Amino acid sequence: MQTYKGRFEPTRFEDLTVTVDFRCHSACRFCIVQEGMNYFKGIPFELFQRAVDDNAKNRRYRRVTFTGGEITLEEKLFDYVAYARESGGFEEIRLQTNGRLLADSAYARSLVDAGVTEFFVSLHGHDAETQDYISQRSGSFDEAMAGMRNVVDLGACLMTNTVLITLNQDVLSKIVETVAPLAPSRMEFWNYLPMEDPGDERGLLAPMAELAPALRGALDGCAKHEIEVLVKYMPRCLLGDHGETLDNAQPDVVIVEEFYDIYPKFACLYEAKCEYAESCLGLTHAYIKKFGWDKELLVAYPRTTPWQEQEDGLIFGSDQPGFGTVGTPSSDSSREGAHQEWAALVEGVAEATGAVLTDLVLQRRSCTYRFEHGASRVDIVLEARDEDGPALVRTPSFNVHYRNAEGDQELLRQIVAGAVKSVEARDPGGMMLDLRKGPVGPDSVRRRPKRRLPVKTGD
Ligand code: SF4
């Protein structure tokens, strides 16, 4: 069986990312969609509209992020932004960008005027020599810096993103010093995921023995400048005093579905021993293949509770730049009100049976209600409706079933029957769980012109 880390679906159920197109004017050496660039199609506007309309009705997401390729090259970007803004369903509209076109202050202003509130700008070097080498475009560093200054002058939210690779591991602290005068709302550091290069032929995977101390130095620098930080895909035990900055959540993504086929797998030798096994991903399989398990380097935090194979991923809290710690899974109270429409589906069931609804776990493909009554417990699970999958009952939106039934059989029967009846009566239809909503098959790619083989003429 695949370990928990190998099937991690790190969804933060409040952010929607829309991959508008796969074109870019830079050519970053670590790009994880390099092979898909100019080949995958972006999301058709109608599909985007459907997701926005759904959100206006069901309020699933607080933020929509537009990404690519390079989103600022997209001619229809203003149409996308306008539709999102006019829907009234999002508090924040974010662009994930290399920042180069933001150097044009009039263009940056027009984006802010259109409704963009947050700019998540890639910065992979501390100077032109490093950044331009990584992006393979001269001038890209100066343009990104000018773009970020414009964002700050316009009063919009600025965040930076640095991908951790061999080419910048030695200058991470310098990147912090370069960005600090701009006082960004947050700096993010994402360890490189070799999605298209599992053998690391590009030589970009940085060994933890070198990368981890360099990153800790950069995180110290952020702390000194009081810059909020978020780190992804690093072993938590290598972050020193900055362990709480680890946040492996990802937004829901509307993207060509082939993208999921190459999402990397993770593992850690100490998974069953470590207190943070459920939130830390450990190392990618590609890294382990190249460098081994790093068993002398990683240090398991002693567990305070026995380890159990996880059935659900973590529940992640809010991703609001400027509001402190980002990596902490949300407690029940911090999620208060976040999933009201899902809680409403089983409202009154616990009270009617004397049970307690101890948790509601909303994830990419399922919504789980955990009921307990003394020593008895049962989970009610909703998954996207399909006609073939196993189900106790099918409602307009869901296949409903139960699992982990333990204890008093009659009591459990009452809870399950009550929950099923409640969901049947209240499911309005159209509540989405299965996030496989991007284009699939031939429609997801651009047709490439057929090459004609040279016609041989007679000898
Ligand atoms: S021991 Fe493994 S699971 Fe624990 S923090 Fe380190 S890498 Fe993560």
CA–CA–CA angle 235, 237, 240 (5° rounding): 115
- Cβ neighbours around 391 below 10 Å, total: 17
pLDDT given at position 428: 85
DSSP for residue 6: G
Q: Distance from the CA of 312 to the center of ligand 1, in angstroms?
A: 19
- The CATH H-level (homologous superfamily) assignment of domain 4-291 is Aldolase class I (3.20.20.70)
Ligand 1 in reach of 222 Cβ (< 6 A): no
Q: Which two tokens stand for residue 196?
A: 């298209």
pLDDT for 227-271, tens place per residue? 999 999 999 999 999 999 998 877 666 655 555 556 678 889 998
Report the C-alpha gap between 444 and 43 in whole angstroms. Answer: 8
pLDDT given at position 131: 96
State the residue for tokens 């006082």.
183
Contact 137, 25 (CB under 8 A): yes
pLDDT given at position 309: 66
State the residue for tokens 């296949």.
399
Q: How far is CA 75 from CA 20, 151, 357, 359, in A?
A: 10, 20, 48, 44
pLDDT given at position 46: 86
pLDDT given at position 437: 46
Q: Distance from the CA of 11 to the center of ligand 1, in angstroms?
A: 20
**Domain locations in the chain as residue ranges:** 4-291, 339-426
pLDDT given at position 256: 53
Q: What is the DSSP string of 173-190?
A: HHHHHHHGGG--SEEEEE
Give Cβ neighbours of residue 42 (< 8 Å, ≥ 6 apart): 19, 20, 21, 22, 68, 69, 74
Ligand 1 in reach of 123 Cβ (< 6 A): no
> What is this structure's pTM?
0.76
For residue 176, the one-letter residue type is V
Q: Which residue among 298, 299, 301, 310 is best mutated to probe the pocket of ligand 1, counting the most ligand atoms within 8 A of its Cβ?
A: 298
Q: Which two tokens stand for residue 51?
A: 């997701």
pLDDT given at position 364: 65
Helix or strand or coil: residue 146? helix
Q: Distance from the CA of 243 to the center of ligand 1, in angstroms?
A: 11
Q: How far is CA 359 from CA 13, 17, 258, 286, 295, in A?
A: 16, 26, 33, 35, 35
Contact 208, 291 (CB under 8 A): yes
Q: Which residues of the chain have pLDDT under 70?
A: 1-13, 33-41, 251-263, 309-339, 363-364, 432-459
pLDDT given at position 30: 86
Q: What is the 3-state secondary structure (H, E, C) of 357-412?
A: EEEEEECCCEEEEEEEECCEEEEEEEEECCCCCCCCEECCCEEEEEEEEECCHHHH
State the residue for tokens 């959100």.
55
Q: Among candidates 107, 168, 110, which has minimal Cα distance to 141?
A: 168
Contact 186, 230 (CB under 8 A): yes
- Cβ neighbours around 149 below 10 Å, total: 17
Work out which ligand 1 atom sits closest to the CA atom of 269: 2
Q: How far is CA 249 from CA 95, 104, 191, 269, in A?
A: 18, 33, 13, 22
Ligand 1 in reach of 402 Cβ (< 6 A): no
Q: Among candidates 192, 186, 173, 191, which has minimal Cα distance to 230?
A: 186
Q: Which residue among 274, 275, 284 is best mutated to probe the pocket of ligand 1, counting the most ligand atoms within 8 A of its Cβ?
A: 274
- At residue 177, φ and ψ (nearest 5 deg) are -65, -30
pLDDT given at position 351: 94
State the burial class of residue 55 (Cβ atoms within 10 Å of its Cβ: 0-12, 13-18, 19+): buried
Ligand 1 in reach of 277 Cβ (< 6 A): yes
pLDDT given at position 328: 39
pLDDT given at position 311: 62
DSSP for residue 154: T
Work out which ligand 1 atom sits closest to the CA atom of 243: 5
Q: Among candidates 243, 147, 258, 276, which has minimal Cα distance to 196?
A: 258
Q: Which residue among 236, 278, 304, 310 is best mutated to probe the pocket of ligand 1, counting the most ligand atoms within 8 A of its Cβ?
A: 236
